[in-house]
Amino acid sequence: MVGMPENAALSVGDLVELDLTGIAHGGVGVARHEGRVVFVADAIPGERVRARITEARKKSFARAATVEVLDPSEDRRPHIWPEAGLERDPAERPGGAEFGHIALPRQRALKAEVLTDALRRFGGLGTDALRDLGGGVLQVESLPGDAEAEAPGLDGTTHTSAPGLGYRTRVRLHVDPETGEVGPYAARSRRVIRTASLPLAVEEIGWIAPLDEAISEAEAVDLVSPSADDPRMLVSYPGERRRAGADDPVRESVGGREFLVRAGGFWQVHREAPVTLFEAVRDAILELAGSDRFDPGAANLDLYGGAGLLAAAVAEAAGPGLRITTVESDPGATDDAAENLADLVGALTVTARVDRHLAELRAAAAPVRERLRRGTVVLDPPRSGAGGEVCAGLGEVAPANIVYVACDPVALARDTATLRELGYTPVSLRALDLFPHTHHFETLAVFLRD
């Protein structure tokens, strides 16, 4: 510790020298100070850094932010977002690009470490099972085009830049309640930070982003750049009962197929994510069909179905004889799914909470239950995962196969443990880097009923 007596307690503002030994879920490095775990932002495992303590309320761990790198990793790069670099005070750095100082191959290796650790610790999977799932070693796949991405310049033009930039088609900014200034939040804070650029955003968002403006009385600004429609700026105000853009339909193109979605609704943010997930789910269904495990005429389900993207992927693999019900709690998304799946005779869209729909299915008549047991479930839950109640419902409905799209590795691992207890075995897994320069990524896992 710099300037403090040996064995002194850590306090906010203290400077400490730390050796980074690992990575934790959430994109922070792991170090120890006198036996106490310290989670360190803006560092890379293997580095020695000087860091400022930012949180020390818990006896078991503290949080810190790097202010100086004493022994840098060979994978350290100048931060892709100048405002998030070490030159700024940690409290002045915008959040949302916590891996922006790390070379992309190392970013993906760190994400693979987090996934492997989560599946081992929370999913109960041993070395052999993990090796079989990953075909040897779990890897995180990059998406097409990241290396050639362009990012908006400050003058509105574009420039070829570091790999993995210029991919976000949806960006949320916040408004300072006192000044009206618009920008992202600081990391682990609700403090609005002014920035001159949005390097992860596509060019069209750079055109309309109000980074140098003040918007009085607003709460948030959502910037949306649909692949087959004009960009939108959606302004939210306190007390509004409907989210901005809820009634604004826009068009998205996925592999030549057009989808209707709400500008203010959910859609994957990486420009290549919709087609990547579409193809990943389609290929998983084709593989199940190739082993005679997929029955297109069974009671197949698409849970947390959104606008119907993944149900359409199942349909492309299964052909015209498919029967599938897509379940989504957002009425607007269900309406969009009905439109997007209108050409599928066997598709049904239902507005309902997934747990409640599964409860209804558990009480269905015997012939329906049998069709459910022959079916395949695709589910794409929120970041918190499916959870115990939904997994228990799946266990009672007992579909033959589950294709699980996860955006959080720990949630996936916990649900994996639950599904294994319910008689499901994970047989394949793909990790996809849908969020370069952040700690987030997507995972697709296939489970078979024993």
Annotated binding site for S-adenosyl-L-methionine: 268, 304, 328, 380
Chain position carrying tokens 């012939």: 367
How far CA 95 is from CA of 80, 104, 449, in Å, comes to 12, 18, 41
Distance CA 364, CA 366 (A): 7
Six-digit token pair at 158? 């574009």
CB 163 within 8 A of CB 149: yes
CB-neighbour burial class of residue 94 (10 A; exposed 0-12, middle 13-18, buried 19+):
buried
Which residue pairs, CB below 8 angstroms and at least 24 apart, start in 84-91? 84/42, 86/42, 90/41, 90/42, 90/52, 90/54, 90/65, 90/66, 90/187, 91/186, 91/189, 91/191
CB of 171 within 8 A of CB of 185? no
Identify the CA nearest to 55 among candidates 71, 73, 76, 41. 41
92: which DSSP letter?
Answer: G
Measured N-to-C along each axis, helices 309-318 and 273-290 cross at an angle, to the nearest 10 degrees, of 40
Phi-psi region of 306 (alpha: psi -120 to 50; beta: other; left: phi over 0): left
Amino acid occupying residue 51: A
Whether the CB-CB separation of 393 and 358 falls below 8 Å is answered with yes
Choose, from 261, 333, 405, 407, the residue flagged as catalytic: 407
Rounded-to-integer distance, Cα 94 and Cα 55, Å: 18
Alpha carbon separation from 318 to 281, 285, 286, 314 (Å, rounded): 11, 8, 8, 6
Torsion angles phi and psi, residue 91, rounded to 5: -70, -15
Of the chain, the end-to-end C-alpha distance in Å amounts to 54
Segments of 166-268 assigned E as strands? 170-175, 182-183, 220-224, 232-236, 249-254, 257-262
Mark whether 407 is an active-site residue. Answer: yes
Q: Supply the residues annotated as catalytic.
A: 407
